Amino acid sequence: MKLGFHVSIAGGFRNVVARAKERQCETIQLFTRNPRGWKYNPLDAEDISIFKHQMKTSGIGPVFVHMPYLANLATTRKGLLKRSLDSLGTDLKRSALIGAPFLIMHIGSAQNVKTGLERISRSINRVLSSVPSGVKLLLENTAGSGAELGHSFEQLRKIIDKVEQSARIGVVLDTAHAFAAGYDLRTEAAVASTLTLFDQTIGYDRLCLVHLNDSKTECGSHSDRHWHIGKGKIGHGMYHILHYPALQNLPFIMETPRTNLKEDLMNMKKVRKLLVQPKRPRKQTK
Ligand SMILES: [Zn+2]
Ligand SMILES: [Zn+2]
């Protein structure tokens, strides 16, 4: 199991590996551009070549790229749809250029669930048919706030079912989003039943990454608030997620709140501690 964080590209890609090492990352996620805007600069060839060399020598990997937030592939608004399609195509190409094998897509939202899901599949088909393969597109389950789609395993399944080149599609399981969407993860039994449902609906073969986040909000709240590992409403369920047999060979990336390096190190330490902790810790005598 490889562990990592979402890492900033501030100051250039050449600063990423140092930041990843500081956080004891074995794998990383990043944005290739400002996640809250449409504008972007072309990648700087020298900067990227330095980054790729550093990645190679550090042994950190794989790199997961996360798409910017503004895109909505389910929208009925023509202008926004065009920008969203361009955005996805651009990020697939940028991911390939920086040597990232995976791009995490922003699913989108729509008032009508059925046509919204169909529109997402159609959008994916359009983009995939125009961009060479090489980067796998990952759908991430959402918390389902407002009209956000992709909060149930069934919805993700429906999107995948209508993608023509479905071998190019994978899935990210975000634990905070699943929990907020109503999938219980608090106990060993709850983790097993949620993950079994995932396997039956989508299949473990699609699962490429776990976003390991605790949740500040209750199960079924549909409110997306990531929290520190073990300190949120999932709490000790984090232990059972980390020890779940079917997840052992997957990369785990944390998107926990951070104001400074210390918080990342605290979460990394916590996860490593949970990983070596025996299943039924003996009662402590103090
Ligand atoms: Zn996530
Ligand atoms: Zn989130």
Could you tell me if residue 281 is inside a domain?
A: no
- Tell me the pTM: 0.95
Could you tell me if residue 208 is inside a domain?
A: yes
What does the chain come to in residues? 286
Could you tell me if residue 201 is inside a domain?
A: yes
Distance from residue 19's CA to the centre of ligand 2 (Å): 22
Query: Contact, 136 vs 208, CB < 8 A?
Result: yes
Query: Contact, 120 vs 73, CB < 8 A?
Result: yes
Could you tell me if residue 283 is inside a domain?
A: no
Q: Per residue in 230-270, pLDDT tens? A: 999 999 999 999 999 999 999 999 999 998 999 999 999 99
Distance from residue 110's CA to the centre of ligand 1 (Å): 20
Could you tell me if residue 81 is inside a domain?
A: yes
Could you tell me if residue 13 is inside a domain?
A: yes
Could you tell me if residue 194 is inside a domain?
A: yes
Which residues lie below 8 Å from residue 285, measured CB to CB, with a gap of 6+? none
* Positions of the chain with pLDDT under 70: 281-286
Query: Contact, 210 vs 247, CB < 8 A?
Result: yes
Query: Contact, 163 vs 128, CB < 8 A?
Result: yes
Q: 63-66 and 27-30 as β-strands: parallel, antiparallel, unpaired? A: parallel
Distance from residue 178's CA to the centre of ligand 2 (Å): 10
Which residues lie below 8 Å from residue 118, measured CB to CB, with a gap of 6+? 162
Could you tell me if residue 246 is inside a domain?
A: yes
Cα dihedral value 80, 82, 83, 84, nearest 10: 80
Q: Which parts of the chain are beta strand (E)? A: 3-6, 27-30, 63-66, 102-105, 136-140, 169-174, 207-211, 214-215, 226-227, 252-254
Mean pLDDT taken over the chain: 96
How high is the pLDDT of residue 106? 84
The amino acid that residue 56 corresponds to is K
What is the residue range of 158's domain? Answer: 3-276
Distance from residue 57's CA to the centre of ligand 2 (Å): 31
How high is the pLDDT of residue 279? 81
Which residues lie below 8 Å from residue 152, measured CB to CB, with a gap of 6+? 141, 144, 181
CATH of the domain at 101: 3.20.20.150
Q: Per residue in 78-88, pLDDT tens? A: 999 999 999 99
Closest Cα to residue 213, out of 166, 162, 188, 176?
176
Count the domains in the chain: 1
Which residues are the active-site residues?
36, 66, 69, 106, 140, 174, 177, 211, 224, 226, 255
Nearest ligand (C-alpha, residue 180)? 2
